[in-house]
Structure 1
Amino acid sequence: MRILLTGGNGMLGRTLQQRLTGFDVVPTDLPAADITDAAGIDRLIAAERPEAVIHCAALTAVDACETAVETAYRINAAGSGNVAAACHRHGVRLIAISTDYVFRGDARQPYHEFDRPDPQTIYGRSKYGGEQLIRRHCPNHVIARVSWLYGPGGPSFVHTMLKLADGSRPVLKVVADQVGNPTSTLAAADGLRQLLIRPELVGTFHLTCEGEASWYEFAREIFALAGIRQTVVPCSTQEYPLPAPRPANSRLEKLMLRLHRMPPMPHWRDALRDFLTRTISPSVIGNQ
């Protein structure tokens, strides 16, 4: 199967290039592939003639989106609409990556695929706008929502924690009142593979790892698995105000995976252990 990949230079895009063995993956990114150029993306898909497009390209800098409003909507909303319309014109299946930020983030339970979106940030609103245009312009689509991603090469929370634990900081404060599903790009790529081999599937799927943790719990597990002695103490979101509000609840339930009897996502602790074993060298971890 020939797969055209947008955002190929990003963290998930790089992992997909390595992980989708057995597929003919055509990675694209700026400046050669600009999803905000409707005619250009149409020509690219027509020339490459893929059977499917995995659409990873996005502006994911959550805080930057709050001030670069038009840019966020141009890339995340209108750009996704351009990709969707081109896929439909050329009879190509579209698998597009979205985010937990489409939800309000204050529910008591995890959000499943049929819960009503209510984004509270420009990033979330622009990504939800992209979802709406994808549904409108390309019926043969899958929207795959992910969150709390980390992967080979970063940047990610895991890489930041390992960098901060260099021995110069006796104590690290990490937010403990935001909860989500830490998710490896390796696990997300394996979930996307399962969607690729099921061409009859359409709709929205959540592809986060199973289990849940706060950022504080996540940090402690990173250090425990990496063998790093680092004191971590919990703090509140209010202690670290940011331009864009972070959801207190980023947990995503994988209802659609169960409904279609698909393999479950791995538990986040297992995925983290696999990631650290595969990708973090002893020189990075250090001898703590």
Structure 2
Amino acid sequence: MKKIAITGSMGMLGQTLVKNLKGFELIPLTIENCDITQGCEVEKAFVQFRPDVVIHCAAMTAVDLCESKQFDAWKINAFGTINVARAANLIGAKLISISTDYVFDGALDRPYHEYDQPNGGINIYANSKWAAEQAVRSHCPNHLIARVSWLYGSHGPSFVHTMLRLADGTRTCLKVVNDQVGNPTSTKAVSDALQQILMHPELVGTVHLTCEGEASWYDFARKIFEIKKINQKVVPCTSDEYPTPAKRPKNSRLDKLVLRESGIHQMPHWEDALREFLLR
């Protein structure tokens, strides 16, 4: 049975993968048994467990926190990924590294496909994740970089969890940004896609694993409340009206060109995935 190691196995996506991936021997890695910022620890763990594939989920994903803790963002996202990539290559494992839509600055007026050239994005999180992608390409030739966006899952934290928490009956309305557009994506949808991709070792390079369809954060919020039958008024606002420490790209839409070309898997529509998540 093929062995799959998962870094960041206690994170939102990591926990979903540990729960849902079937037909493999799973090796959940955490900071306790594999601190990715310590190269010797990563190498020791990989040599000990000898996974056939490493799914690298561990990352500092709190976008605003990355702005105030830049050293940690670079240490975890960039240098940590260098350690993982080197160790995976050392033992001959394939590396599937989870990345983000934020590697693009959002200036295009169409969805970004896998052959578009990223420019490092517009904040520290984006820059550190773009550096992580470059590390994977440099240090582990047998790799697949899987970009996701607007992720939510059972264990949170996520936009879905925040909206449900804020809709507690104490607010007459919620203001939600309407000038940023992307692909809301469930960790279950990503897990299902990776389940299929793991059966196709020939797929290498870069792939986008976001749900089909697009929405603004405002659209996303309204759909959450509609599905849950919550009577919460939502008012659209601009990014300028809701400033955050880190800039966000206006266009986070990702085109699934490689998935269509390969015929391996089709991502669900974001509304269907959200409905499955909220009504489970």
> For this structure pair, what is the TM-score category when the shorter chain's length is used for normalisation?
over 0.9
Measured in 2, the distance between the counterparts of 1:166 and 1:243 equals 26
Sequence identity percentage: 59
- The equivalent of 2:79 in structure 1 is 78
Structure 1 residues 92-131: Cα deviation after superposition (integer angstroms, max 9, x where no partner): 0110000011001121000011111111111111001010
Give 5+ residue unaligned stretches, structure 1.
279-288
- C-alpha displacement of 1:67: 2.2
TM-score (norm 2): 0.98
- C-alpha displacement of 1:31: 2.5
One-letter code aligned to 2:240: Q
One-letter code aligned to 2:12: M
One-letter code aligned to 2:272: D
- The equivalent of 1:203 in structure 2 is 205
One-letter code aligned to 2:49: E
2:278 is the alignment partner of 1:265:
no
One-letter code aligned to 1:154: G
Measured in 2, the distance between the counterparts of 1:32 and 1:40 equals 8
Q: Write out aligned runs for 1:102-121 (5 A).
A: 102-118=103-119, 119-121=121-123
Aligned length: 278
- The equivalent of 2:233 in structure 1 is 231
Q: Write out aligned runs for 1:1-288 (5 A).
A: 1-118=2-119, 119-278=121-280
One-letter code aligned to 1:216: Y
One-letter code aligned to 2:69: A
Measured in 2, the distance between the counterparts of 1:201 and 1:177 equals 35
One-letter code aligned to 1:94: L
Measured in 1, the distance between the counterparts of 2:194 and 2:250 equals 26
- C-alpha displacement of 1:32: 2.1
1:204 is paired with a residue whose SS is: strand
One-letter code aligned to 1:210: E
- C-alpha displacement of 1:35: 0.5
1:97 is paired with a residue whose SS is: strand
One-letter code aligned to 1:55: H
2:279 is paired with a residue whose SS is: helix
Aligned-residue Cα RMSD (Å) equals 0.8
After the TM superposition, which parts of structure 1 deviate over 4 Å for at least 4 consecutive aligned residues? Answer: none
Give 5+ residue unaligned stretches, structure 2.
none
Measured in 1, the distance between the counterparts of 2:164 and 2:36 equals 34
- C-alpha displacement of 1:26: 1.0
Measured in 2, the distance between the counterparts of 1:211 and 1:80 equals 30
